[in-house]
Structure 1
């Protein structure tokens, strides 16, 4: 066999093949390769780098020494795993497949094999657009099995694509009363269902109110697939409510007479905004929905960053008071001397310079007042709050007239209530009044199965803020996240994602460990490293922590006299990626 026979074999397989010298001059090219590169038979003797630089690939490893044994000829094939797309003409894209070396070839030459990758390129392009869409989209085959789900749909449904791909519609959703599952109906009738109001439960127990438009995909008169485009109906309802609230406020309120607060008049979050897959949060949401139906005071305990206010706002928006004011105040952020007047209001002359002004309790009339970090409130002021909870009325600071208001109190604390009582930070009688309905939000370290869903939610927000086209985190970053204990809980995870998105280069699609905050990498450095032989060689650097990666690259560069190309080969990554690591690690 000579290389011309290889040329013909590759041509029959619709693969291009070019034989190039060490200086990248084209020695020969097969018929399919000439077609791919639009050479018209004139490519021999020309520079491969000028015509198709994406094919200028040198074999990895040591120099190849061809040998013959009887009639056999030795070959070496180096697969190309990180090749660049070539674009020789409009709507044409090529990718290198492998580099061949053999004693059959002229001395110091190699054969680069490449293929048509137009379909692959456009699939990746459309997949990228698919994941950047704000609308939630799912695609199903004609057997009602899910084929694709975009990032917005993952957030809406608290699903991860790896967990649901290939599953049937009926296994993922259950229609609530007076609702239907749209996709099976569309596949059956071969007709779209547009602007359909749906109320469904996912297989994780999350209830979703949505408006969807559902379409069949027909080819040659047969239904081959269907897709659904969805919007969260609760967010649409909330938008209408906020517009109405703003209109009423503008029409009825005199800004000169109304005290300004930072807390706003509406609650923005609903239970559908809570991202989870864990059973503990599902049970907590179900309990919270039942609590929302009553007017009993609620006490929420959770460590810092667990989402206490998110639950408080969701309870308000699921209650009969949802169209009424929602006010929040952080008891730890306001000095004791001002907190009383902020809550209860003042009468003119109560103290020097005081004016008649309503407090938050009056402003929240018919609605909900959230007392954040109630354990930071002065014990004496807690006694006045207790009287209000018992009697439903209070007096302004400096006032003698009792004022009756209808307000639901939700409070939260970042330390266990009994611990706060022991430390004299919370009155026990107030605890029994505030805690008629008690909720405890587990820390993130106790429900790490929620991390992938939370990450996708934070990435969706960060993509909009940074304009970067990041699809997710790689498996090694996920391993770091699972190894870390998250003392700052969900808020710390959100900040970690925002930090990574800020420093991540625009051309990367996945967050790798070297872009995580140093304190997370330092805390997980002592965790067991991945088994070396279970990792692909090209992921060696990505699997390392920042410090380890820095040391590994420094040693490799020293071993190869700072030769970038040779060092990249030794590390199993591309030359461009190595340069990117050098820059990001300040080497």
Structure 2
């Protein structure tokens, strides 16, 4: 069969599959990309063939494409949930199984099979189902205080600044405030500056006006270029001069302490002054661990509805591990861990240690095992038999050493990389490989 006909035959075949299929060569250039994947990633009008993956898709700073990881690791990467941004700046979340293509010990490429977890995010609105204050799980003092402050903010028309780490739920709080004001879901209009292009951000800022009451939500101001922050500050200042009854509602978020962001040059002081008429801090999950059990049950209920399952609860050993963990990715990380766990359940009705994602289990001892995590005994051969395989030990030792180095250097990536004699990129890749994340 002619090579062109052969290629067309394969493309037609993978287009019939109801899972997303993406195949790249050894250089990360797209070879095949099926119809389902185009639908999942919102790429119907963009030609990906022979284009490098990183020229089309954008990944979070602390993450790497699972396709590129498979090329490097030369081993399958299974049941991994990944969030990234397409060429239009919209966020995609998918569950991936990724395999290297190896022939005669040579890596020729990689293939990824994806199932959709969440539809392509067409900006933050309109016509998106929003979350009210009733959806907030937890009864800790910090979360009760945040909800109380959020409801007071909803009763005013002041500009609002929401501060909190990534994954704490700042957008959900903004949605709750919007609904608390009695406004329709379709009038919540937003953008995430972290993923938006400069052109899209500029267009959004230029159109911050409406003849009817709307909430303009602007996420992650620290990712917006300073020049555009200046434009935004001027635009909002002029909005403040309008009569209060004619004002729209404006909510801005930042992922760190705003004073630290100003001192580091990531946040314009004038923009902070304009937006901080009222400020609400969203607590990190590690600061309200007493809410974990309730959050777990909430997410199990959500995923039971989505997956049509009947999971009852998480085993006590899982809850205990969750309380030991610091959750650098906050509530969003907990959600992702539970989602991956429930997808691995099969016919069982209780989430146990064995169902947790592999990268997460590496952080802890197996509660059912008598073996310690990584101490001196792990380095010993006893009675002529190794306590674990060499590959397993090297993997565990590398994870342990990197984690301790990060802690010693206060999770500073540059200092840790220098100390370990590797590049920042190499360190970040290895951190991703072992499921390690920077705190804070």
Q: Structure 1 residues 469 and 296 mapped into 2: Cα distance closer, same or farther (>3 Å)? A: same
Contact 2:313 2:349 in 1 (8 A): yes
Contact 1:514 1:546 in 2 (8 A): no
Cα distance in 2 between the residues matched to 1:434 and 1:476 = 44
- Which residue number corresponds to residue 264 of structure 2? 423
- Which residue number corresponds to residue 235 of structure 2? 388
Cα distance in 2 between the residues matched to 1:376 and 1:338 = 13
Q: Structure 1 residues 320 and 467 mapped into 2: Cα distance closer, same or farther (>3 Å)? A: closer
Cα distance in 1 between the residues matched to 2:134 and 2:355 = 30
Contact 2:127 2:185 in 1 (8 A): no
Q: 1:471 aligns with which of 295, 306, 312?
A: 312
* 1:276 aligns to 2:138 (yes or no): yes
Question: 1:327-476 to 2 correspondence within 5 Å?
Answer: 327-344=189-206, 359=207, 361-363=208-210, 365-392=212-239, 406-476=247-317
Q: TM-score, normalised by structure 2?
A: 0.53
* 1:287 aligns to 2:149 (yes or no): yes
- Which residue number corresponds to residue 177 of structure 2? 315
- Which residue number corresponds to residue 484 of structure 1? 325
Contact 2:123 2:190 in 1 (8 A): no
The structure with the largest alpha-carbon Rg is: 1
- Which residue number corresponds to residue 304 of structure 1? 166
Post-superposition CA distance 1:480-537 (Å, at most 9, x none): 111111111111111111111111130x221111111222222233xxx97xxxxxxx
Specify the SS of the correspondent of 1:385.
Answer: helix
Specify the SS of the correspondent of 2:218.
Answer: strand
Contact 1:267 1:313 in 2 (8 A): no
* Higher RCO (Cα < 8 Å, 6 or more apart): 2
Cα distance in 1 between the residues matched to 2:362 and 2:251 = 38
Cα distance in 1 between the residues matched to 2:192 and 2:264 = 20
Cα distance in 1 between the residues matched to 2:137 and 2:197 = 35
Question: 1:196-211 to 2 correspondence within 5 Å?
Answer: none
Give the Å deviation of 1:376: 1.2
Question: 1:88-127 to 2 correspondence within 5 Å?
Answer: none
Cα distance in 2 between the residues matched to 1:478 and 1:511 = 10
Cα distance in 1 between the residues matched to 2:362 and 2:211 = 46
Cα distance in 1 between the residues matched to 2:140 and 2:211 = 34
Q: Which runs of 5+ in 2 are unaligned?
A: 1-121, 386-440
CA RMSD, Structure 1 to Structure 2 (Å): 3.0
Q: Structure 1 residues 336 and 365 mapped into 2: Cα distance closer, same or farther (>3 Å)? A: farther
Q: Which runs of 5+ in 1 are unaligned?
A: 1-259, 345-358, 395-403, 531-539, 559-587
Q: Structure 1 residues 406 and 323 mapped into 2: Cα distance closer, same or farther (>3 Å)? A: farther
Q: Structure 1 residues 467 and 261 mapped into 2: Cα distance closer, same or farther (>3 Å)? A: closer
Alignment: residue pair count:
254
Q: TM-score, normalised by structure 1?
A: 0.40
